[in-house]
Amino acid sequence: MSVIRPSPIPIPRCRSQVLYRRLHSIQLIQRRRRRWNPRAEAEATAVESTARSPEAAGGKMVVELVGAFNEVTERMNSVWLSTSSSRLLFKALKLSIPILQSLPLASDGRSPLSKALSLSILLADLQMDAEVISASILSEVVEANAISIYEVRDQIGTGTAHLLHEIFRVKNIPFKVDVLDDETAASLRKFYLTYYDIRAVIMDLVSKLDEMRHLEHLPKYRQQTLSLEVLKIYSPLAHAVGANHLSLELEDISFRYLFPCSYLYLDSWLRSHENGSKPLIDEYREQLHLSLKADFVLGEMVDDVYVKGRYKSRYSMMKKLLRDGRKPEEVNDVLGLRVILMPKSVANDVELGEKACYRTSEIIRSLWKEIPHRTKDYIARPKENGYRSLHMAVDVSDSDQRRPLMEIQIRTMDMDGSANAGTASHSLYKGGLTDPKEVNTCVLF
């Protein structure tokens, strides 16, 4: 089994014939296996590294390699984790880790290896494939001028090299403008989505989020300019490609650095409604989920129930307060739950799903006080665009403390799929695409 060795890191030859024989035996065993086993290859690589480099650094590299491979693959969707994709990711890590270990620390105090792994884990959590994750790891090596894209093409593959080329093109887009007003920002977002590989755009978004999470290490002027850039370009862009949680986090971090006093005010107000260390929304989500699962009547209608929860972001709250002139306690959707029902497979499953939605609303009324004028039945009266769902608002205050109203959406799996398709179109519109032909060319993950 050959090992790819980057030229800047020479590995001393080992004179021990015993270790060579051990390595050869492992290689023979590996060749007899029908399927490639990444863990077994990692063990073989560990022995070879020990044979070639008895220094402690060699052992550390093996530990980093196996640990990084396991951590990333455990987070990846099994659909993307074929034998070939596992091999690609392993090769990229094996090429990158020795080089990344030799590079100096970044300005935020992290090692380049730590940063590369943070990016790869973010991408794995987004269920990106091995080629995207491999390109992200290798981009740190290429950016340090330790290896060229041509070498990546020869040693890893053409597809990964193409992605690397695209990501560096995407990174340079903001430097092409002098003034970042609303019109320029909208043009840049449209440029991103129309002319570049969408996977490279997602890689750039993840890189920007990682940078924003460590913004405190940058000079104050850079914190301000980068936060404004993220708020104008990257947060709407993340929303456009369907990465809503990325968009919300980018917004909130930017808001915190641009308007620290306003952010602190809203953050303190939200935290004042918490009970101990557990987020309030998680308590309500678990309470509702247990009640729905325990209901016998609902159990006869559905195979499964999903409950999602979210806080309204600090930035979204501030926009609503400024637009409507409200106080924080007058915002009705600070807390939000969404119930998604999977009806049983029967001939009239659509009708059964609707009945399950109404049964769910009855269970919710038994838990919390409904605010009748806030209830909207989009199942009986769908919106013009076909949107169907049941919306409720409930008062979750108790005798000890008054809390903001909580909004609850109830829908079936099919209703949720249709709603998400509409949301995707709206997201692309916000990102800058208004032509349906352009929308069709943008692949959402």
- Domain ranges in the chain? 1-171, 178-258, 273-431
Copy the structure tokens of residue 74. Answer: 């455990």
User: How many whole angstroms separate alpha carbon 83 and alpha carbon 128?
Assistant: 16
Cβ atoms < 10 Å from Cβ of 148: 13
Q: Give the closest residue to 155 by CA, choosing from 204, 93, 98, 203.
A: 93
The letter for the amino acid at 404 is P
User: How many whole angstroms separate alpha carbon 211 and alpha carbon 204?
Assistant: 10
Measure CA 122 to chain center: 6
pTM above 0.85, yes or no: no
User: How does DSSP classify residue 13?
Assistant: P
Cβ atoms < 10 Å from Cβ of 396: 19
User: How many whole angstroms separate alpha carbon 343 and alpha carbon 414?
Assistant: 10
User: How many whole angstroms separate alpha carbon 81 and alpha carbon 101?
Assistant: 26
User: How many whole angstroms separate alpha carbon 161 and alpha carbon 167?
Assistant: 10
Q: Give the closest residue to 132 by CA, choosing from 174, 189, 85.
A: 85
Q: Give the closest residue to 84 by CA, choosing from 127, 52, 38.
A: 38
Query: Residue 178: exposed, middle, or buried by beta-carbon count in 10 A (0-12, 13-18, 19+)?
Result: exposed
Q: Give the closest residue to 63 by CA, choosing from 46, 75, 50, 48.
A: 46
Q: Which CATH architecture has domain 178-258?
A: Orthogonal Bundle (1.10)
Copy the structure tokens of residue 77. Answer: 């969707």
The CATH number of domain 273-431 is 3.30.460.10 = yes
One pLDDT digit (tens) per residue for the chain, 445 residues:
444 444 433 333 333 444 334 444 444 434 444 344 554 454 444 434 443 443 445 556 666 677 777 777 777 776 666 788 888 888 988 898 888 888 888 878 888 888 988 999 999 888 888 899 999 999 999 999 999 999 999 999 999 999 999 999 988 887 777 667 778 788 888 888 888 889 999 999 999 999 999 999 899 999 999 999 999 889 988 988 888 889 999 999 999 999 999 999 988 888 877 666 668 888 899 999 999 999 999 999 999 999 998 888 889 889 888 888 888 877 777 889 999 999 988 767 888 999 999 999 999 999 999 998 889 999 999 988 889 999 999 988 877 777 788 999 999 999 988 877 655 445 544 554 444 444 444 444 4
Residue 136, sorted as left (phi over 0), alpha (psi -120 to 50) or beta, turns out to be alpha
Determine contact, residues 141/95, Cβ cutoff 8 Å: yes
Residue 398, sorted as left (phi over 0), alpha (psi -120 to 50) or beta, turns out to be beta
Cβ atoms < 10 Å from Cβ of 330: 13
